[in-house]
A and B are shown apart, each in its own frame.
Chain A
Amino acid sequence: MSRFFAGLVGAFVEAWAELRIHRTRVLLSLIGVAVAVAAITAVVGVAGIAEQAQRESFEQAGRPASLYISAYDDITGTVDAAAFGQAFDTAIDRYKIEYSSRNGYGATRVQFPDGAAEVQLITTDVDSAVIHRTTVDQGSWFIDSDENRLAPAVILNYGMWERLGSPDLRTHPTIEMLGDATTIAVVVGVMPKQQWEEDYYEMRMLYSAWERTASPIEIENSTPQYEVWVPPEMSEELTELLRRDIAGALGEGVTVDIGRLDFEGQQGGEDPLLPFKLVVGGVAGLVLFLGALSLVNISLVTVKQRIREIGIRRSFGATAGRVFFAVMMESIVGTLVAGVVGVIVAVFVVSNPWILEQVSGGNLQDIPPFPIEAAILGLIAAVAVGALAGLLPALVAVRVKVIDAIRY
């Protein structure tokens, strides 16, 4: 036991001495590994942010799993909106579905400073912003208390806000919705600018507020589409339960249509981010491969230079196993240290606000934490590279013919 322990400590002492004495060479060779590990870790980390940004972009169609629910009479095509609403409310209460929204689409005329114009109207609920990851450029999204406003709250698209003269929302600007009776609405938010929205005017209003301003005929002719956000693993089961319950409540002759809104539900099970992940993984792998190649190269050259030293050690009783272990240990300890340095550098890179902004486009809602799996991957990669880079030289080292090596 004592012999084994002394041997183990001796191997570490030897490896450490090698690293210390050849620190310049070791440093130079490990810079490549540290850079490679930093690169692979940073690439994976940045890819995580980019993936999150892309995911959030996709999720504007609905977070996984978002279900749309619509119903139509098989003969007339329309169903009683009130009955449909009642059936929907009962069902989501029963299954304790936390996020739900009604969405309707229409149009209204609005008075601008330079004249009246038609504006597309989206009626929605507070939860819609959660389901669709909706963000506003200015102001804020609807809140529950907005339902009680006498003058309904509205959120404008950017073009409409600009046509109104870009008023400061802190001044609580209002618009006039023209119709049988003019309705004054308060602007509480402005949506982000979209390039394709040139001369296109659109505004959002809470569904409940619209119900108060709309005429009975408008309400009767408008059946909203319902949306719910449910845990993905329960989506299939809930789809069937909601269909059964709502169809049952609406009676025979009514078809209830429920489907997935979100990107995961529409890809037929394929990961839409897979190509992106493959490209990123390929780049990271290539970076690491090049780092490993340079380390193997340097290690082999170094061992050739150290053949005499290995021969001397063998003459003083170093067994082949001990020489193999020492050379491997040097390589692994060195690359592990380089890996830690690389991971630390990557953490700084990935956490840098400027880089975060560049990668995500600056409108990330949920900034992903530094991917621990990327750090672990980086360290595993470093040790694997160290083992690989150490293996060839270690094999060369144990095959050394001692006297020939000493006279090398």
Chain B
Amino acid sequence: MTLLRLEQVTRSVQLPDASPLEILKGVDLEVNVGDHVSIVGRSGSGKSTLLNLLGLLDNPTSGAIFFDDEPVRQLRSGARDRKRGADIGFIFQQFNLLPGRTALENVVTPLLYAPGDQFWRRKRLASEMLERVGLGSRMDSMPDKLSGGEQQRVAIARALVRRPRLILADEPTGALDIETGASVMALLDEVAEQSGAALITITHDANVAALARRHYRLDSGVLSPVNVARVLEMAAPEVTL
């Protein structure tokens, strides 16, 4: 079942005193429920722009995005925000935990925007999710007292606490060492699989990308599928993307 579909999506920006700059060119992508997709690309290849579109944070210049076969463009701003909150979980490279709040309070944050039952049970749901990522004993710890790996686990718990159907991971291991990054990715993969959520990993780390089942490369705004062997080739230092 198709969860997210991009059809001939382009995104361009108007630069002052210059012709429009086309960042994404005719992107086609189909993500199914429970899918695991990786997208690799250099800096400036259009990854952030694609992330904005996949996360319903921006509209394409042309083409169409469908979520649950429903054209996203037709959604009003508030409805789109609510859909993002309900169905999409973000994991960022720099963890982006809210400072001054405990791990538990950070995981509670998305539930503040949830309707009814999830909102009222927010503390319990957040505690369960932290237990699930192995941080049951660190619930009251502030982010600055947690290691990088622990912070990213909190971020994973926060992204998954509303049980999204799509997880967008933007360079999820970018701020971690190799070993910690591998364990975090294993956890993310496991939790995503258990919850049946689709996972899109945007990364320049070919090893991380290789963990996905389907692989894409974004180069100068053009998204094209690549096989896993090609991805691992990219892991060589001279061609690291």
Contacts and interface: CB of A to CB of B under 8 A. Distances in A.
Interface of A: 2-3, 6-7, 9-10, 13-14, 17, 21-22, 308-309, 312-322, 401-403, 406-407
A406 B96 contact: yes
A335 B113 CA distance: 25
Contacts, number: 82
**Chain A contact residues, majority secondary structure:** helix
Query: Nearest 9 A-B pairs (CB), nearest first?
Result: A317-B85, A316-B110, A21-B100, A6-B119, A319-B81, A317-B113, A3-B115, A10-B112, A2-B116
**Chain B contact residues, majority secondary structure:** helix
B78 interface: yes
Contacts of A10: 112-113, 119
A401 B90 CA distance: 15
B116 A309 contact: no
Nearest to A311: B96
B51 interface: yes
Interface of B: 48, 51-52, 55, 57-58, 77-78, 81-82, 84-86, 90, 92, 96, 98-101, 105, 109-110, 112-116, 119-120, 158, 162
Given A315-B57, A403-B57, A6 B115 contact: yes
A43 to B, nearest CB: 37
A309 B101 CA distance: 12
A317 B86 contact: yes
Nearest to A11: B112
Contacts of B77: 319-320
Contacts of B105: 17
Contacts of A322: 81, 113
Contacts of A401: 57
A312 B55 CA distance: 12
A312 B48 contact: no
Contacts of B114: 6, 317
Nearest to B92: A406
A21 B92 CA distance: 23
Of the candidates B51, B99, B119, B162, the one having the most CB atoms from chain A within 10 angstroms of its own CB is B119
A315 B162 CA distance: 13
Nearest to B105: A17
20 contacts: A2-B116, A6-B116, A10-B112, A10-B113, A14-B112, A17-B101, A17-B105, A21-B101, A22-B100, A308-B96, A313-B113, A316-B158, A316-B162, A317-B81, A317-B82, A318-B112, A319-B78, A320-B81, A402-B55, A403-B57
Nearest to A321: B78
Contact of A318 (B55, B57, B92, B113): B113
Given A3-B115, A403-B57, A309 B85 contact: no
Nearest to B116: A2
B92 A317 contact: no
B96 A312 contact: yes
B139 to A, nearest CB: 16
